[in-house]
Structure 1
Amino acid sequence: MDWMAIKEHGINALGNGLASFFVAAAIGLLIYGLYKIHFLAWVAKGLGWFLRALDTALEKLVWVTGVSEKKRLRRWGQFIAVFVLLTLLGAFIPKPSIALFFVVIALVLILAIYRHWERDENKRLSEIQKGRAISDREDLTQEMLAALGLLLFFIPLGFARLGEMIVFLSGDTPTHGLESAWYVWGELLKAVPLVDWSEVFGVPNLSGVEAQGKTGASLTFVMRVMFDLLILAGLIRIISIIRSINSGHDIRNLEEGLKSDDETKIEAAITKLGELAGQERRNALSHLFEITNGTRSDGKLKTHKWREKSARSLVDAANKLTIWTNDLSNLDNFLLGIEAYKTAAQYLEPHDPIYWATIQNELGIASVNLSELTVDHERLKQAEYFYLKALKIRSNEKEELVKDWANTQNNLGFCLYLQGSSLGSKDIIERALSALEQSLTERDEEKNSLGWAQTKHNVALALLKIGELTAKDAYLIDAVSSCHAALQIRKIDIYPDLWVASRTLSADIFCALGIMQNDNKWIEQARTEYSVVSQFYLENSQQRMHALIQNRIATALFHEGTILNNPTLLEQAITKHKEQLDIIKKSTDPLRWASIHNDLGAALWQLGQIRDDKELIVEAKDSFYSTLEVFNEHDSPSAWAQAQQNLGNSLALLASDIDGLKRALSAYEAALKVRVIESSPSSWAHTMLYYGLTLSEAWKTTHEKKYLKQALNVLESISDWHAQNNNPEGVEAIEQMLIQLNVDN
């Protein structure tokens, strides 16, 4: 092997590459220098002005051709008349120079038509991207294609007339006298396949006719430029339009169908628009909005037949647009779907009240899903409104509507449960239970087992929440029974997703029972249930749900560690919470992230108390502050109040002076804005206890009578509440605190 030869070849190749690179770099530096001294900006400005002026002139000329006319008959009539006249003038005027003048006019008008069509297509594309309906614009593609055909008519015509003045073509053709036509098509065939192939491979004009002299070369150059600008560009644009039509983005064919007087075409167009609207084609959806509202700009399709069909197509599209997702990627579609439901309902209410009630029920479902997606709890109130409207029509007194009535009652109950949970309101949860019990009067285990199980599951949810709010374990025992009843129908081998939801709820109830009764056996049972659910998600590759269940297991460990005063269990809980924060991110799932931080803070706080470790309490405080970055009083009042309570606990332990205690008191007072005795008695009592204890500490620190007075009032309020709820142990504990305060005083 000749290494010297290889080296020489390599250096030679490298030299060529470097030489080319340095030339490119030099040109780049030159362009950059020209840019810095604003020379290129001046050139671009001048060129832009010239092109805009040319475009404006062409737009002003296009009216001559009739292409800008709205009415098709008038447009084509003027188009044909103008070009027939120019043809006659270009062909039959005896003087070639004057004839060529009219040929040039024809070519300029053809360019004007092409630019007008291009502008029209750009506007159409812009409207499509904005999702707007296009009902008042004509499709000018046929006129543009006719103009391109005329281009291939007038160029050889002009060449033939020019040939009367000078000879610039040579060669033999099969038909004598048609040299210009043969030459033009020969050049066109050279130009169309990849544009440059004829120059690269030195292909002659395929007709055998060649241009000669500078005149021939110049004319060929101009002609080829026109081919590039009009024919090639036009063909590429048309191919793009065809692709857009086939994909359903460009619906001009359907728009033409809507404008026709053929009912078959109109019906087919509306049906297709409904399909496309369900595929997130917003321009199709806009057409359905216009037809349903009777607001088309052309004044067509205002009869009941078409408006009703359009309204029903809107409902079908809305059903697809409001499909649930776990993130905000579908938010725009959700909002559009809800508006589609509303528009359809508004028109159909007087014409088909039963179907209108169905739409109201669907609006309720969509609003509930949207509330969970956006954490906008006002949507739950809207959902309640929609369900109540549906129930005005759906009555259990009409046999044919009983199933629908029971379904809407179930949906209303679930909606009220979500409202009550968010607000921490016992009254709203009781309304939820009432609606669900109404549903169960018609949902039969034998005839509608799946619906019955769904309502039983929802009843268990409501009982769990009301048990937590009232601190009465009887509700939780009933919740266990209701949940297990649902699981008799929701079998893992038939309904795995429903099974896992009810199994998770069962674990949640066991955990709540363990906390309320301070009994570790319930917590252990909850952990067992959670482990089964966790394994299910792991086996089904649902990593996100697996992570969320792992966080529940961590919470169960926290409660078990608290009951047993076991720091090892608390450490395990803290480790698991931190592992979940590596998976659940604030940017993608802020609510879950905030909840995990709250749970993590609670575990850190408990471990800090056991070990008397201030650093752990500080870490807990920081975790609660992280929680409050997401939760707020308006959107997540119950979770926000819990985080404020926890923050107050941390600040109270860390307080070394009255300022620290004041910060803790402020946190408790914030929590008590939401935790009121009327709607959340148990949570109210819990927060009031810590509030009273912190007021006592403020009294001991400052000896200011106002803190003592407040502390006594708070503790007396709690004592009265325990007495009203027949809780002598609670009364006795508070009385001991009051005695101690009075002794200190």
Structure 2
Amino acid sequence: MKFSTTYLIYPENRSLQRAIANSLGVLTSEEAAAAVPDSKIAVADNFLYTRGNYEQRRYSSKIFETLVEVLELSLSETSAAATHVKNISRKQEPLAWAETQNNLGNILAAMGQQRRDVELFERAIQCFTYALEEFKQESTPLKWAATQFNLGTANQALGRLLETTKPFKNAVDAYTNALMVWTKNGAPEDWMFTMHQLGDTFHAFGKLLKGNRQFQKSIVAYKNALAVLDADNYALELTAAHNNRAVVLHHLGESEGNPERLEEAIRSYEKALAVSMEQQLPIHLAVLCRVNKATAQSLFAELTKDTRLSDELADEFEVIIECFSHALQPLCLRHCKEQMDKAKSLALASSASH
């Protein structure tokens, strides 16, 4: 079925940040200097934390191509003696070789997201697969779990791009493997991030399937993540978990035609909005939570034939458009206008029938 337009929030990808940080040493000083993001840009990035799984703003994406080139050269069997790049021998340094594959995979996947490039994601997945040939659960459990997590995220992103089920199945398997090492008590932060990614994966997976089982799994995964999160230490992650859980409840309520599910979604959107505002996250995130909430309320009004609420929502979308147009992505602005017109039509149609 065609689901309502909603907006997910993606926390920063810490694995990608670590991959970049770990790889800067292979660059020349001039190349490494390009890693510093441009802080002079005055225009707010209204797409920040909404593009996908490979969000990070610590480093400039301008260095991705250079990093890939240098990392691939360091892994090549051909001698890199003519360059400043040190060759990493799989035979002599298997764990360093695997770690480099891991770093390369994350950067390739980030480029894949930027360019919407299937081949780059597939190359990233191959890198993680190579790394897992050296990292073993028994001998290097933490590295093995981290690589499984990275493999899951690359597959999840590929599944979103292709809109096909197999990568999502692979992602679930990889995340499940990671949780064999990253337990709630032993590694609560890693466990939380994995649960969050499982929530994202089950939701996207469920949208491609009949029935609501994957949506229900997604809700449980987000609930697990929320058990670890707090606003002081994880403001963005907490906002994302509440918002994304609400999106799943929203779509589940839509699939079931169930107003009670929508009410639960609305409450979760409200929590996301509250955390975002209280913790002073970028304003566009609060606006997206507000748009999501109003969209769910609009569907609730339609299902319950609540004319008064439809009328209020027409005003709400008008306020969002007039007061926060600077914080809205172009397609989101169009969505708000469509929702405003829909709410007005519902209110008028209902009034005319009485």
| TM-score with structure 2 setting the length | 0.71
Deviation at 1:390, TM superposition (A): 1.6
Q: Is 1:597 the counterpart of 2:351 in the alignment?
A: no
Contact 1:368 1:383 in 2 (8 A): yes
1:468-617 to structure 2, matched below 5 A, reads: 468-541=207-280, 542-566=282-306, 568-569=309-310, 571-572=314-315, 574-575=317-318, 578-579=321-322, 582-584=325-327, 592-598=329-335, 600-601=337-338, 604=341, 608=345
Unpaired stretches in structure 2, ≥5 consecutive residues: 1-24, 37-53, 77-86, 350-354
Deviation at 1:491, TM superposition (A): 2.4
Report the equivalent of 1:127: none
Q: Is 1:360 the counterpart of 2:90 in the alignment?
A: no
2:295 and 2:122 map into 1 onto residues whose CA distance is: 31
Contact 1:377 1:419 in 2 (8 A): yes
Where is the helix percentage greater, Structure 1 or Structure 2?
A: 1
Q: Which segment drifts farther, 353-362 or 380-389?
A: 380-389
The 1:365/1:393 distance shift into structure 2, 3 A limit, reads: same
1:502 and 1:354 map into 2 onto residues whose CA distance is: 34
Amino acid at match of 2:239: V
1:320-719 to structure 2, matched below 5 A, reads: 324-325=56-57, 330-346=60-76, 347-350=87-90, 351-396=92-137, 398-399=138-139, 401-541=140-280, 542-566=282-306, 568-569=309-310, 571-572=314-315, 574-575=317-318, 578-579=321-322, 582-584=325-327, 592-598=329-335, 600-601=337-338, 604=341, 608=345
Deviations 1:405-428 (A, max 9, x none): 111111111221222123221232
Deviation at 1:442, TM superposition (A): 2.1
Local SS of the residue matching 1:582 = helix
2:172 and 2:27 map into 1 onto residues whose CA distance is: 42
Local SS of the residue matching 1:470 = coil
2:163 and 2:346 map into 1 onto residues whose CA distance is: 28
Contact 2:98 2:130 in 1 (8 A): yes
The 1:486/1:273 distance shift into structure 2, 3 A limit, reads: closer
Local SS of the residue matching 2:207 = helix
1:369 and 1:387 map into 2 onto residues whose CA distance is: 14
Report the equivalent of 1:167: none
Deviations 1:172-201 (A, max 9, x none): xxxxxxxxxxxxxxxxxxxxxxxxxxxxxx
**Among 267, 275, 279, the residue aligned to 2:33:** 279
The 1:579/1:386 distance shift into structure 2, 3 A limit, reads: farther
Deviation at 1:376, TM superposition (A): 4.1
The 1:437/1:572 distance shift into structure 2, 3 A limit, reads: farther
1:246-265 to structure 2, matched below 5 A, reads: none
Contact 2:239 2:273 in 1 (8 A): no
1:84-123 to structure 2, matched below 5 A, reads: none
1:545 and 1:582 map into 2 onto residues whose CA distance is: 13
The 1:383/1:349 distance shift into structure 2, 3 A limit, reads: same
The 1:595/1:387 distance shift into structure 2, 3 A limit, reads: farther
Amino acid at match of 1:342: E
2:35 and 2:208 map into 1 onto residues whose CA distance is: 46
Contact 1:558 1:603 in 2 (8 A): no
The 1:471/1:573 distance shift into structure 2, 3 A limit, reads: farther
Contact 1:547 1:580 in 2 (8 A): no
Amino acid at match of 2:56: W
Alignment coverage as a number of residue pairs: 294
Amino acid at match of 2:136: S
The 1:465/1:572 distance shift into structure 2, 3 A limit, reads: farther
1:72-83 to structure 2, matched below 5 A, reads: none
Overall identity of the aligned pairs, in %: 17
Q: Which segment drifts farther, 544-553 or 329-338?
A: 329-338
Radius of gyration: which is bigger? 1
Amino acid at match of 1:556: A
Deviation at 1:388, TM superposition (A): 1.7
Contact 2:200 2:244 in 1 (8 A): yes
Deviation at 1:610, TM superposition (A): 7.5
1:275 and 1:496 map into 2 onto residues whose CA distance is: 34
Unpaired stretches in structure 1, ≥5 consecutive residues: 1-270, 283-321, 586-591, 613-745
Contact 1:440 1:452 in 2 (8 A): yes
| TM-score with structure 1 setting the length | 0.36
Deviation at 1:432, TM superposition (A): 1.4
The 1:562/1:360 distance shift into structure 2, 3 A limit, reads: farther
The 1:494/1:378 distance shift into structure 2, 3 A limit, reads: same
2:319 and 2:264 map into 1 onto residues whose CA distance is: 19
* Alignment RMSD: 3.3
Local SS of the residue matching 1:458 = helix
The 1:348/1:543 distance shift into structure 2, 3 A limit, reads: same
2:141 and 2:162 map into 1 onto residues whose CA distance is: 31
Local SS of the residue matching 1:489 = coil
Contact 2:35 2:63 in 1 (8 A): no
1:537 and 1:281 map into 2 onto residues whose CA distance is: 28
Contact 1:457 1:482 in 2 (8 A): yes
Local SS of the residue matching 2:227 = helix
2:161 and 2:344 map into 1 onto residues whose CA distance is: 29
Deviation at 1:337, TM superposition (A): 2.5
Deviation at 1:480, TM superposition (A): 1.7
Deviations 1:83-133 (A, max 9, x none): xxxxxxxxxxxxxxxxxxxxxxxxxxxxxxxxxxxxxxxxxxxxxxxxxxx
Deviations 1:119-163 (A, max 9, x none): xxxxxxxxxxxxxxxxxxxxxxxxxxxxxxxxxxxxxxxxxxxxx
Contact 1:436 1:455 in 2 (8 A): yes
1:383 and 1:273 map into 2 onto residues whose CA distance is: 20
Report the equivalent of 2:12: none
Deviation at 1:348, TM superposition (A): 0.9
Local SS of the residue matching 2:208 = helix
2:262 and 2:112 map into 1 onto residues whose CA distance is: 31
Contact 2:34 2:60 in 1 (8 A): no
Deviation at 1:377, TM superposition (A): 4.7
**Relative contact order: is structure 1 or structure 2 higher (C-alpha 8 Å, sep ≥ 6)?**
2
Contact 1:527 1:556 in 2 (8 A): yes
Local SS of the residue matching 1:452 = helix
Amino acid at match of 1:334: F
Deviation at 1:547, TM superposition (A): 2.2
The 1:476/1:375 distance shift into structure 2, 3 A limit, reads: same
The 1:556/1:371 distance shift into structure 2, 3 A limit, reads: farther
1:482 and 1:273 map into 2 onto residues whose CA distance is: 39
1:579 and 1:345 map into 2 onto residues whose CA distance is: 54
The 1:358/1:600 distance shift into structure 2, 3 A limit, reads: farther
